[in-house]
């Protein structure tokens, strides 16, 4: 089994009792709902990374960020590299957007789109591990 470290940033974006989630297009969480976010690029600050990831995955422009917590999970899966044990460390940010829809800026690489969902309607079998920890087990 190959051990992999993944350091990322993730956004909690709320609108009243709803939260904005993306549907994963690839990776170990394909088909699951997840927090917008992803890996930092070389030399990028975590705040810049979360703003970029929110734009790429939701088309929204971030106006403010607040670091809430850091989380970690281990996920085992199989892909083209073989059996993988991924240690995922994530910085979780509360994010406010200006509501401007910049859908043309979305890359659709990691996300099949974003949608607002009532938190009370979420269940663990439809969510990524970080989404479960932040939204269902706070």
Where is pLDDT greater, at 105 or 110? Answer: 110
Each residue of 31-82: pLDDT tens digit? 899 999 999 999 999 999 999 999 888 889 999 999 999 999 999 988 888 9
CATH numeric code, 2-131:
3.90.79.10
**What per-residue confidence (pLDDT) applies to 100?**
66
Q: How many CB atoms lie within 10 A of CB 118?
A: 10
Each residue of 75-107: pLDDT tens digit? 998 888 899 999 999 999 999 998 766 554 555
Domain boundaries defined on the chain:
2-131
**What per-residue confidence (pLDDT) applies to 104?**
47
pTM: 0.87
């Amino acid at each position: 089994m190959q051990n992999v470290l993944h350091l990322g940033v993730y956004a909690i974006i709320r609108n009243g009792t709803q939260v904005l989630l993306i549907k994963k297009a690839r990776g170990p969480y394909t088909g699951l709902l997840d927090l917008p976010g992803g890996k930092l690029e070389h030399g990028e600050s975590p705040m810049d990374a979360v703003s970029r990831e929110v734009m790429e995955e939701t088309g929204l422009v971030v106006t403010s960020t607040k670091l809430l917590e850091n989380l970690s999970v281990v996920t085992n899966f199989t892909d083209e590299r073989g059996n993988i044990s991924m240690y995922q460390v994530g910085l979780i940010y509360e994010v406010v957007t200006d509501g401007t829809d910049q859908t043309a800026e979305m890359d659709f690489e990691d996300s099949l789109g974003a949608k607002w969902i009532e938190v009370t309607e979420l269940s663990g079998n439809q969510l990524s591990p970080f989404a479960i920890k932040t939204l269902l087990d706070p």
